[in-house]
Amino acid sequence: MRRVLIAGVVICFGSLCVFAQGEQSPKDQAAKTVRAEKFAAEIEMAKLALAAHGGDKLKAMKTLVIKGSVDVTTSVSAQAFPATFITIFSGDKYRIEIANPFQPLKQVFDGTQTSSTIRGGFSLPPINRLGFPMLPRLGEQGFVITALPESKSKKKGFRMTSPEGLYTDFYLDEKTNQIKGYDSTYVIDGRSITTSVEIDKCSVVDGITVPEKYSQRFDTEQMTIYANFKAKEILVNSEVKDSVFSLTE
């Protein structure tokens, strides 16, 4: 009989605990509602940005090739040196190349491995996981949309995080909903780097709105690098051979 009473007390106590955990105060319910509404707002903002840059055409884009010029300065030397650049994207694969007489660099990702010509074993972050190349991945598994951090909450925008944990904070134009800038902080090879981009001009190619003129800043632990990019040729869905994603190409 005693065992039955003890079992009954345990069951009743457990039921009370479950009930207590399931019951929410009006304050908790209100906070949950606010979080849900804010999450919906960020998703909607991300969708507006995607639509402003081509929507379904951007998501269906197979390849993107951008060629142009870039002027680079550093906090060590204010004298700009001219260079040319090319970025090639094909799915997750990419190639970036900056040609200049002082320190030319190449970095490629063939879908499995990243290779770079940068000295000291250093490499750039995966450029398909930061900035504009992230936007077409909206809605895909592992790409998460959240609100901007509190320090940036007055800006119109959202944060997008990749499956690898790399994030970009996007800022939108109030009228067009196009991306007017973005920034990110990440750690690569044990070094903390912050990068920020301001977009001055976009170009529409085959229904897709692509940044054409923009400035980028890299803050490393050793110096700050400034680069002003200007695209001279933008190709959408052109044929790109797999051999391009090798340093030997």
Summarize pLDDT for 48-83 with one digit per residue, the tens.
Answer: 999 999 999 999 999 999 999 999 888 887 788 889
pLDDT digits (tens, 9 = 90+) for 159-178: 999 999 999 999 999 999 99
Listed range (133-137, 173-177, 187-191) with the worst mean pLDDT: 187-191
CB atoms inside a 10 Å sphere around CB 153: 9
Long-range Cβ contacts of 96-99 (<8 Å, 24+ apart): 96/124, 96/127, 98/70, 98/72
> Rounded to 5 degrees, what are φ and ψ at 111?
100, -15
Report the predicted TM-score, pTM, of the whole model to 2 decimal places.
0.82
Euclidean distance between CA atoms 102 and 36, whole angstroms: 51
Residue 221's pLDDT is 78
> DSSP secondary structure string, 137-151?
GTTSTT-EEEPPPGG
Average pLDDT over residues 224-241: 95
The answer to whether 170 and 201 are in contact (CB under 8 A) is no
As a whole number, the mean pLDDT across the chain is: 84
**3-class SS at 242?**
helix
Q: Is the pLDDT of residue 37 over 80?
A: no
